[in-house]
Amino acid sequence: MRIGELSQRTGVSQRSLRYYEEQGLLSSSRSDSGQRHYSDAAVQRVSLIRQLFGAGMSSRVIATVLPCVDIPDDLGVAEETFTAMMRERDRIDADIAHLVETRDALDVLIKANGRHRASLSTATEPAAESA
Q: What is the pLDDT of residues 57-71, one digit of tens each?
A: 899 999 988 888 888
Give me the half-sphere count of Cα atoms (radius 13 Å) on the Cβ side of residue 12: 23
pTM for this predicted structure: 0.68
For the cut 70, the answer to whether the pLDDT of residue 6 exceeds it is yes
Q: What is the pLDDT of residues 99-131, one digit of tens each?
A: 999 999 999 999 999 999 999 988 776 555 555
| Distance, CA of 19 to CA of 24 (rounded, Å) | 9
Q: Per-residue confidence at 3, pLDDT binned at 50, 70, 90?
A: very high
Mean pLDDT (whole number) for 71-94: 88
